C-alpha cells in the first residue's frame, strides 16, 4: 500500500497548517493511501546539531524513519517573514537524501496575511536540493484564520478542492 505522511511545521495550538494538511491527508486516504501526521509542535526534536547522532536527539530517529518509509510526503508550514517556520526548517535540516530521494512531495503554506509565494519557493528549492520529487500542484492559503469554520471545515469550496487535490495527487504520483 502507498504510504503518505504529512509534516506540519507549526507549533501553534489550533494550527491552520495542520488543519489544512489533515484535509489533504483525508483525500490521500480516500485515494487508497495509508496516511499519518507528524506534528512538529508535539514532538521532542532538539535544534539540529550535525555533530550529534540523530539517535541522541529526541525523536529524530523515529521521525526520519517515518519520512524515509513514506512513498509520498505532504510538507506544510506557516508563513513567517516570507519563508517557512523555524520549526519546519529545523526538521528539514535533519532530513537529507535518504529521506527524500525519489520521494513524491507536495507543498502547502498558510499565511496569516496575503503572501505565501516565497515560502512555497523556498520549500520547493530546498526539497529539490535533496532530490525530492516536488509535484507541480501546490497550495498557498492567504488569511488562514478566515478560511475555516468552527468545525475545521473550509469555508471556500474552491480552496477545499485545491487542498484535496494536493492529497490525491501526492498519493497518485507516489503510487506510480
Cα torsion for 57, 63, 64, 67, to the nearest 10°? -170
Region 67-84: mean pLDDT is: 98
- Cα→Cα distances 115→106, 120, 142, 145, Å: 19, 10, 6, 14
What is Dmax (Cα atoms) for the chain? 47
| Distance of alpha carbon 111 from alpha carbon 78, whole angstroms | 6
Q: What's the confidence (pLDDT) of residue 176? A: 79
The per-residue pLDDT for range 88-141, each reduced to its tens digit, is 999 999 999 999 999 999 999 999 998 999 999 999 999 999 999 999 999 999
Number of domains in the chain: 1
What b/e string do you get for 16-28 counting C-beta neighbours within 10 Å, with b at 16 or more?
bbbbbbbbbbebb
Terminal Cα distance for the chain, rounded: 12
Region 45-55: mean pLDDT is: 94
Instruction: Kindly report the CATH number assigned to the domain that includes residue 24.
Output: 3.40.50.360
User: Domain span at residue 44?
Assistant: 3-175
Amino acid at each position: 500500500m502507498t504510504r503518505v505522511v504529512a509534516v506540519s511545521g507549526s507549533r501553534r495550538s489550533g494550527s491552520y497548517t495542520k488543519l489544512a494538511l489533515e484535509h489533504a491527508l483525508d483525500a490521500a486516504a480516500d485515494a487508497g493511501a495509508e496516511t499519518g501526521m507528524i506534528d512538529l509542535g508535539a514532538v521532542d526534536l532538539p535544534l539540529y546539531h550535525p555533530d550529534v547522532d540523530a539517535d541522541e536527539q529526541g525523536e529524530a530517529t523515529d521521525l526520519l524513519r517515518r519520512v524515509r518509509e513514506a512513498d509520498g510526503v505532504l510538507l506544510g508550514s506557516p508563513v513567517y517573514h516570507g519563508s517557512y517556520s523555524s520549526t519546519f526548517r529545523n526538521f528539514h535540516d535533519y532530513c537529507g537524501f535518504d529521506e527524500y530521494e525519489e520521494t513524491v512531495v507536495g507543498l502547502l503554506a498558510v499565511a496569516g496575511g496575503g503572501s505565501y509565494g516565497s515560502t512555497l519557493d523556498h520549500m520547493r528549492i530546498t526539497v529539490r536540493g535533496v532530490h525530492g520529487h516536488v509535484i507541480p500542484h501546490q497550495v498557498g492559503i492567504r488569511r488562514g484564520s478566515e478560511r475555516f469554520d468552527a468545525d475545521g471545515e473550509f469555508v471556500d469550496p474552491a480552496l477545499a478542492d485545491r487542498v484535496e487535490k494536493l492529497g490525491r495527487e501526492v498519493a497518485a504520483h507516489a503510487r506510480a
